Amino acid sequence: MSAPPFATVLVANRGEIARRIFHACAALGIRTVAVASEPDRHAAWHRDADHVVPLEGATATESYLDQAQILTAARRTGAEAIHPGYGFLSENAAFAEACANAGIVFIGPPIEAMRRMGAKTAAIELAMEAGVPTVPGARQDERGDAGLREAAKRIGYPLLVKASAGGGGRGMRLVREAAELDDALQAARAEAKSAFGDDTLLLERFFERARHIEVQVLGDQHGGLVHLFERECSIQRRYQKIIEEAPSPAVDEALRARMTGAALDLARAAGYHNAGTIEFLLDDQENFYFLEMNTRLQVEHPVTEEVTGIDLVACQIRVAAGEPLGFTQADVSLRGHAIECRLYAEDPATGFLPSTGRLALYRRPHGPGLRCDDGVATGSIVSPHYDPMLAKIIAMAGDRDAARRRMIRALRDTVALGVRTNLSYLLTVLEHPDFATGQTYTAFLGEHPELATAEAEVDEDVWLAAAALEALGAAAGDPATGAVVVAAADGGPSGDPWGRLGRWRNGA
């Protein structure tokens, strides 16, 4: 076997993605270094790293975004490269530059490509130059609200107000008519200012029956560049993806050829290498429009890995070390179908408010055709400082419906208690006839608000289970009974469920 691409890699991230990268490194024979903020000292995800360096601070800004602390940790542990994961410093060109200056490889695209594609306006200009269709909109904000009001007349309604520096739905507003525009501009500016320190806005035409389709590209530093087909990520709540799949049920061979061709044209024009994603909006007439390019690994990369058999993280590391991809477009093929669900600590019934606290009980699903990328364990603390995603559950099978049924089974097998989660919500969506038939549009969740508050049927099983759990004092994390999971009796036939009888209380 050839030598590892690097001897030591530091992962400047947390949670499931940090763990995912540790595993890729382990497979390549690379020593791994984790960094852990103060609230993450007792987290489960960094147990899979060879070394853990504590970071000072609790908030993201004080810890995982603190470039100086991360670089110091890399230097002290002899890390030759830093993998930024997604979020945090992953799209920060200044950090990539600081790494280069410190003689450390930033596992990502060239700094120039990050800069260019990171600024939405510059990215759209490049797409236009490369002949890639773009969404009608206004990308100039020099004249402030007055200029945007005029542009809105030209673009027409409905339209989206977006933060130029934005992402993840922050600083974004949907405006259905002219009368709503002023309020939306004001709110988006305030949100953009507080979230990104930059209140530059842009406007975009909004399509009602649209799908979010993105193309994964992967390139090396020797001119090798391939696409790994598309993903569909239309199921979003507040512009946050929650269910993704590959391939898209709406993309046939001809459309796939057009979209992947456009993605490669753009990646080439940007001088891109490493992994990147080109996001498109697909309307119901098979027209597609470039939205933005993500110059990093995506949360939903596993679905692409499952349908291509390519380890994206391993490829990222290898090409960052200067290795060639080692395969060409002709070697890449699409097999079967994969669906990913994001398990979030949030309450769909209260408008997806994040839920924090102790994950009193967690059991991941397992079985054939299932993959679970998670960063939590029973007892993990879900803190308000970071993204509330607990796990990604990925199901794959020969075709879409088989993958969907596998996913339903996996979600039913997942236990996550102690914080409110979107688990039931995900199940409801997977079981919805529109999802089952591939009628997945970005407006899906907004058009089905009843799914967020759907209540499970209370049958006799439910009463029996609740009564038995109470009788045993077996509710995890209950201060009244003192039942904690680590103290639970052994599950074997000789396990004594009465071991805790002394703590029973007399109920009303």
Partner 1 sequence: MKFTLRIGEQTRTVRVMRAGGALRLQFEDGPQVELDVRRLADGTIELWPGPHAPIGSVEDQDGQGDPLRRLRAAAAAIGQGGERQLWVEGKMLRYARHAGGAARASADAGALSASIPAVVLEVLVAPGEHVEDGQKLVLLESMKMVLPIQAPHAGVVAAVHCAVGESVEPGVALIEMERD
- Degrees to nearest 5, angle at CA 401 with 398 and 403: 55
Q: Which is nearer to partner 1, 338 or 345 (CB)?
A: 345
* Shortest CB 26 distance to partner 1, Å: 25
* Shortest CB 355 distance to partner 1, Å: 7
Q: Which is nearer to partner 1, 145 or 470 (CB)?
A: 470
Choose among 262, 257, 198, 220: nearest CA to 5.
Answer: 220
Q: How far apart are the C-alpha atoms of 16 and 19, rounded to whole Å?
A: 5
Contact at 8 Å (CB) between 481 and 465? no
Residue 118 half-sphere exposure, CB side, CA atoms within 13 Å?
Answer: 18
Helix intervals (H) in 243-311: 253-269, 301-308
**Other C-beta atoms lying within 10 Å of the C-beta of residue 87:** 20
* Shortest CB 274 distance to partner 1, Å: 25
Q: Which is nearer to partner 1, 232 or 300 (CB)?
A: 300
Burial 343-366 (b: 16+ CB within 10 A, else e): bbbbbbeeebebbeeebbbbebbe
Q: Which is nearer to partner 1, 100 or 468 (CB)?
A: 468
Tokens for 416, please give them. Answer: 């996550």
Q: Which is nearer to partner 1, 249 or 473 (CB)?
A: 473
* Shortest CB 500 distance to partner 1, Å: 9
Q: Which is nearer to partner 1, 65 or 361 (CB)?
A: 361
Q: Under DSSP, is residue 382 helix (H, G, I), strand (E, B) or coil?
A: strand
Q: Which is nearer to partner 1, 62 or 311 (CB)?
A: 62
Q: Which is nearer to partner 1, 325 or 416 (CB)?
A: 416
Contact at 8 Å (CB) between 199 and 274? no
Q: Under DSSP, is residue 334 helix (H, G, I), strand (E, B) or coil?
A: coil
Dihedrals φ, ψ of 318, to 5°? Answer: -65, -45
Contact at 8 Å (CB) between 36 and 106? no
* Shortest CB 430 distance to partner 1, Å: 12
* Shortest CB 98 distance to partner 1, Å: 25
* Shortest CB 488 distance to partner 1, Å: 5
Contact at 8 Å (CB) between 364 and 340? no
* Shortest CB 109 distance to partner 1, Å: 24
* Shortest CB 455 distance to partner 1, Å: 7
Q: Which is nearer to partner 1, 90 or 308 (CB)?
A: 90
Q: How far apart are the C-alpha atoms of 246 and 459, rounded to whole Å?
A: 36
Q: How far apart are the C-alpha atoms of 46 and 39, rounded to whole Å?
A: 13
* Shortest CB 58 distance to partner 1, Å: 8
* Shortest CB 164 distance to partner 1, Å: 18
Strands (E), 55-200: 81-83, 105-106, 137-138, 159-163, 173-175
* Shortest CB 477 distance to partner 1, Å: 5
Q: Could you give the maximum distance between any two Cα atoms of the chain, in Å? A: 76
Q: How far apart are the C-alpha atoms of 78 and 105, rounded to whole Å?
A: 12
**Other C-beta atoms lying within 10 Å of the C-beta of residue 256:** 18
Tokens for 367, please give them. Answer: 């079985």
AA letter at 90: S
Q: Which is nearer to partner 1, 5 or 15 (CB)?
A: 15
Choose among 163, 160, 260, 246: nearest CA to 210.
Answer: 160
Q: Which is nearer to partner 1, 194 or 287 (CB)?
A: 194
Q: Which is nearer to partner 1, 335 or 503 (CB)?
A: 503
> β-pairing, 353-354 with 105-106?
unpaired
Tokens for 387, please give them. Answer: 């993204």
